[in-house]
């Protein structure tokens, strides 16, 4: 089923779009094959299969997925640099695309000349580009290289010029691929600020990125591609969370294959039935925003009429660096142990810096004897656009006298 856009004019519409490439395997041919013009059988590669979605005019739309999932192919189809094998793809308005490095640039032309070239290819009048050129040059901020052949550019300079040109061509639809990853941090912040300006101006943005924090911050809705097909589409929060949950499950399976699954031990007099990470709305989450409310829920079953128990958690980064641990005894919490129940520790603000974290959950008696302990019982990813470094965000303020 196509993901329906919100009410409003549609900027991009894809209906059961597929893209297949024909690849011929290169190998040395025999004399007989040359004479008879025999070739190795071609290999069909389905880059996209039955992809359907809509992007509303003025919307910021994210496309996520692992490498090779078809994200860049989809952007090429929207940009018009490739055609679908089947299905229908409609794009309304002028499209400006920032795809792979150097795409659309002539290596022997200068940055300025390439800006004019791109404008002419999109049908933008020369006088309009004359007016925009000072802004392009200032945004790219590559100094004298703006009038040097682009074949002399570094990858970062390519990215600067490409983005500066793309956003100043007066596009109705802006396509941005992972190319921004090569820019320095200051330039990335400039780009994200410009994208935010585009949103306020009511322009349409399609963003492909592995930076899930950026996608979550900039986009309202998103599409997750997996092996060329739509795995999930909807609100950016739902899509990013589904993707992160799948990544977490894959990592757990890979850990199991390597023999790295967390151990479990204890008498099971009180048994952990399940443990979950919950967001501020109470929904189970695999990804959380830094600084957002969160909870860890431990559901238990009392198998031996135990009346005194201590519930605890220990959080550590996925490289093993400890972050935080606590339990009900340390916190002086009263624990009413029942036959079955849930113990929940709530964080008004989960002030972890972005990264992957594991959580041990356990139930012990007051003498530190284990009822049940799950090592690496939970995994969670924290995302966010913070520039801070370290493990945690320490709430603070600056004062000057």
The per-residue DSSP string of 142-159 comes to: -GGGGGSBGGG--HHHHH
Q: What is the pLDDT of residue 176?
A: 87
Q: How far from 224 is each of 204, 207, 242, 332, CA to CA, in Å?
A: 19, 12, 9, 44
β-bridge pairing 370-383 and 355-364: antiparallel
Picking from 11, 21, 82, 91, the residue whose alpha carbon sits closest to that of residue 49 is: 21
Round to whole Å and give the CA distance between 208 and 181. Answer: 11
Tokens of 97: 């695309």
Q: How far from 154 is each of 102, 118, 165, 271, CA to CA, in Å?
A: 10, 20, 17, 58
Q: Tokens 């003025």 sit at which residue?
A: 58
* DSSP one-letter code for 262: P
The count of residues in the chain is 401
- Residues 139/148, Cβ–Cβ less than 8 Å: no
Beta bridge partners of 43: 23
Element (H, E) at 113: helix 111-121
How does 253-283 read in b/e, with b if 16+ C-beta sit within 10 Å? eeeeeeeeebeeebeebbbbeebbbbbbeee
Beta bridge partners of 370: 364
* DSSP one-letter code for 277: E
Per-residue tens of pLDDT for the chain, all 401 residues: 334 344 458 999 999 999 998 876 655 666 666 666 665 566 788 899 999 999 999 999 999 999 889 998 999 999 888 999 999 999 998 888 877 655 678 889 999 998 888 888 777 888 888 998 999 999 888 899 999 998 998 888 888 888 888 888 888 999 988 756 656 777 878 888 888 888 888 899 999 988 887 888 889 999 999 999 999 999 998 898 888 778 877 776 776 676 666 789 999 999 999 999 999 999 888 888 888 999 999 999 999 999 999 999 999 998 889 999 999 999 999 899 999 999 999 999 999 988 889 999 999 998 889 999 999 889 888 887 666 778 888 888 888 88
Round to whole Å and give the CA distance between 57 and 175. Answer: 13
β-bridge pairing 310-317 and 294-302: unpaired
* Structural domains of the chain sorted by starting position, each given as residue range(s) with its CATH number in brackets: 10-246 (3.40.50.300), 264-383 (2.70.50.60)
Round to whole Å and give the CA distance between 282 and 208. Answer: 29
| Terminal Cα-to-Cα distance of the chain (whole angstroms) | 61
Picking from 124, 111, 213, 95, the residue whose alpha carbon sits closest to that of residue 152 is: 111
Round to whole Å and give the CA distance between 329 and 313. Answer: 12
How does 198-220 read in b/e, with b if 16+ C-beta sit within 10 Å? bbeeebbbbbbbebbbbbbbbbb
Tokens of 77: 């189809």
Tokens of 382: 């924290």
Helix (H, G, I), strand (E, B) or coil at 67: coil
Q: What are phi and psi of 389, to 5 degrees?
A: -125, 160
Round to whole Å and give the CA distance between 382 and 291. Answer: 9
Positive or negative torsion for Cα 268, 270, 272, 273: positive
Q: What is the pLDDT of residue 2?
A: 39
| Contacts of residue 276, Cβ cutoff 8 Å, sequence gap at least 6 | 284, 296, 297, 299, 378
Positive or negative torsion for Cα 141, 144, 145, 147: positive
Q: Tokens 């802004």 sit at which residue?
A: 135
Q: What is the pLDDT of residue 195?
A: 84
- Residues 104/118, Cβ–Cβ less than 8 Å: yes
């Amino acid at each position: 089923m196509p993901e329906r856009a919100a009410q409003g004019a549609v900027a991009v519409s894809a209906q059961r779009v597929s893209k297949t490439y024909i690849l011929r395997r290169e190998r040395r041919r025999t004399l007989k094959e040359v004479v008879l013009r025999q070739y190795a059988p071609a290999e069909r590669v389905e880059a996209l299969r039955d992809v359907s979605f809509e992007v509303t005019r003025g919307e910021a739309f994210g496309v996520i997925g692992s490498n090779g999932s078809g994200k860049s192919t989809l952007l090429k189809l929207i940009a018009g640099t490739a055609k679908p094998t089947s299905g229908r793809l409609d794009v309304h308005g002028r499209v400006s695309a920032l795809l792979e490095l150097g795409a659309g640039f002539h290596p022997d032309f200068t940055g300025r000349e390439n800006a004019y070239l791109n404008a002419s290819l999109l049908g933008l009048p020369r006088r309009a580009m004359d007016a925009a050129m000072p802004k392009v040059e200032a945004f790219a901020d590559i100094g004298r290289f703006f009038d040097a052949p682009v074949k002399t550019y570094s990858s970062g300079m390519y990215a600067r010029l490409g983005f500066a040109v793309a956003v100043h061509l007066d596009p109705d639809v802006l396509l941005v691929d992972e190319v921004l990853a090569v820019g320095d941090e200051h330039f990335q912040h400039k780009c994200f600020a410009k994208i935010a300006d585009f949103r306020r101006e009511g322009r349409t943005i399609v963003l492909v990125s592995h930076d899930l924090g950026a996608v979550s911050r900039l986009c309202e809705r998103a599409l997750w591609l997996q092996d060329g097909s739509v795995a999930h589409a909807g609100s950016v929060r739902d899509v990013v969370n589904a993707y992160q949950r799948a990544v977490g499950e894959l990592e757990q399976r890979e850990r199991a294959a390597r023999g790295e699954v967390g151990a479990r031990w204890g008498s099971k007099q009180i048994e952990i039935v399940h443990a979950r990470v919950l967001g501020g709305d109470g929904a189970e989450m695999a990804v959380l925003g830094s600084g957002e409310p969160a909870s860890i829920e431990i559901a238990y079953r009392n198998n031996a009429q135990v009346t005194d128990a201590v519930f605890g958690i220990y959080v550590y980064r996925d490289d093993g660096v400890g972050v935080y641990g606590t339990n009900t005894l340390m916190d002086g919490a009263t624990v009413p142990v029942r036959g079955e129940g849930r113990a929940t520790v709530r964080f008004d603000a989960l002030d972890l810096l972005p990264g992957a974290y594991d959580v041990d959950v356990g139930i012990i008696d007051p003498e530190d004897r284990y009822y049940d302990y799950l090592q690496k019982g939970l995994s969670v990813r924290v995302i966010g656009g913070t520039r801070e470094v370290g493990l945690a965000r320490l709430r603070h303020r600056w004062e000057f006298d």
